[in-house]
Chains A and B, each alone.
Chain A
Amino acid sequence: EDQVTQSPEALRLQEGESSSLNCSYTVSGLRGLFWYRQDPGKGPEFLFTLYSAGEEKEKERLKATLTKKESFLHITAPKPEDSATYLCAVHQGAGGTSYGKLTFGQGTILTVHP
């Protein structure tokens, strides 16, 4: 069964203090790993898709990387507006019973203090 584990569950940073969020996954035939940001009371907002080990993508202060077993979301010099829950999800390759679905981790709640 697909498993996605995110750590830490919660992370408190000072503005400007860089850090990383981890997403470990177990899936047969990864078709994509996705990062989302979710603000309270809203639906998840798409950030990145990673398809193969070694791939990296960047957007403003965020950089996502992928290995064969995990993904990292690096946050450089975060600002208070980066505070949100960050979700990781995997898409299983064809052949599974529900290959259309994303399997999500529990998320990391990031709080950035000014």
Chain B
Amino acid sequence: GAGVSQSPSNKVTEKGKDVELRCDPISGHTALYWYRQSLGQGLEFLIYFQGNSAPDKSGLPSDRFSAERTGGSVSTLTIQRTQQEDSAVYLCASSLVVFNEQFFGPGTRLTVL
């Protein structure tokens, strides 16, 4: 596609359930990033991939968060045993290579009841 796509656009879940968020980067972009934006907060970096590997996972808020990228393309962010504080907009971005400008998707709004 022409831009970064994310699905679902909205997700409402109950506390304790697992959720999977998907990101489809711009074709040909080797780097992929996940950020979180909470109400009134700035964008918080979570993790990035260069190809299929994630050199640094220290931005993930807890061990309930994990991410993978397969085939150098689609990425999935999984949150296990969701908590109310996980409610936020999860944004995915991609860039041609790591230090280039990042292009963002529309985000997934996650609400944990």
Is there contact, CB below 8 Å, between B58 and A98? yes
Q: Interface digits, B14-57 against A, CB 8 Å rule (1 contact, 0 not)? A: 00000000000000000101000000011101001010000110
Sort chain B's interface into a size bin: 20 to 34
Q: Which residues of A contact B43 (CB under 8 A)?
A: 44, 87, 89, 102, 104
Q: Interface digits, A4-34 against B, CB 8 Å rule (1 contact, 0 not)? A: 0000000000000000000000000001101
A103 to chain B, nearest CB (A): 7
Is there contact, CB below 8 Å, between B50 and A100? yes
Sort chain A's interface into a size bin: 20 to 34
Q: Interface digits, B93-113 against A, CB 8 Å rule (1 contact, 0 not)? A: 100001101111111000000
Q: Is B91 an interface residue (CB 8 A)?
A: yes
Q: A101-B45, A101-B59 are in contact. Are A44 and B104 (CB under 8 A)?
A: yes
In the assembled complex, the Cα of A105 lies from the Cα of B44 at a distance in Å of 10
Main DSSP-derived SS at the B contact region: loop
Q: Is A49 an interface residue (CB 8 A)?
A: yes
Is there contact, CB below 8 Å, between A105 and B59? no
Is there contact, CB below 8 Å, between A46 and B101? yes
In the assembled complex, the Cα of A12 lies from the Cα of B33 at a distance in Å of 32
In the assembled complex, the Cα of A103 lies from the Cα of B44 at a distance in Å of 8
A4 to chain B, nearest CB (A): 8
B residues with CB within 8 A of A: 4, 31, 33, 41-43, 45, 48, 50, 55-56, 58-59, 91, 93, 98-99, 101-107
In the assembled complex, the Cα of A87 lies from the Cα of B44 at a distance in Å of 13
Q: Which residues of A contact B4 (CB under 8 A)?
A: 43
One of A34, A36, A97, A100 near B31 (C-beta < 8 A) = A100
Q: Which residue on B lies nearest to A91, using beta carbons?
A: B99
Q: Is A76 an interface residue (CB 8 A)?
A: no
A48 to chain B, nearest CB (A): 9
In the assembled complex, the Cα of A103 lies from the Cα of B59 at a distance in Å of 12
In the assembled complex, the Cα of A34 lies from the Cα of B35 at a distance in Å of 16
Is there contact, CB below 8 Å, between B101 and A100? no
